[in-house]
């Protein structure tokens, strides 16, 4: 008898809804991060500064590092990561925001949660 091979890769899907309580502080932090990024070309830096001044979701995308979520988890190595940020209309009472309902994606036990990912760079959707 042979044992079916299982993938060693798992896609961890996380969705967060954040309230921007201090837009000026958020923008200032993103501008600081951009200024300190030595690997960013000047042309890209100018575009990034402009984008974060105009859009809080862009500012947030420059500050959030999903890789930090798993960097200290024993026994795992991050293969790829992507993230995006967008402004949304949020109503915590609306059915579509009920986090207990996953559109039938995951059955009890999480069997459907195993898979491989094809993820890229951060940005705003």
pLDDT in tens, 16-55: 889 999 999 999 999 999 999 999 999 999 999 999 999 9
Q: Read off the pLDDT band of 98 (50, 70, 90).
A: confident
In 3D, which of 58, 79, 68, 67 has the Cα closest to residue 123? 58
Q: Is the pTM of this model over 0.75?
A: no
pLDDT of residue 81: 87
Range with the largest mean pLDDT of 1-10, 79-88, 104-113 = 79-88
pLDDT of residue 99: 67
Give the pLDDT confidence of 65-88 residue by residue, as tens digits.
888 889 899 999 999 988 888 888
Q: Which tops the pLDDT comparison, 76 or 14? A: 76
pLDDT of residue 107: 40
């Amino acid at each position: 008898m042979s044992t079916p091979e299982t993938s060693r890769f798992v896609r961890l899907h996380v969705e967060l809804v954040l309230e921007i309580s201090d837009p000026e502080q958020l923008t200032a932090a993103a501008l600081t991060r951009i200024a300190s990024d030595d690997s960013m070309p000047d042309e890209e830096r100018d575009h990034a500064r402009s984008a974060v001044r105009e859009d809080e979701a862009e500012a947030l995308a420059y500050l959030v590092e999903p890789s930090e979520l798993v960097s200290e988890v024993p026994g795992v190595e991050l293969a790829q990561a992507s993230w995006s940020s967008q402004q949304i209309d949020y109503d915590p009472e609306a059915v579509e925001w009920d986090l207990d309902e996953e559109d039938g994606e995951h059955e009890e036990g999480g069997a459907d949660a195993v898979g491989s990912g094809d993820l890229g760079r951060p940005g705003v959707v």
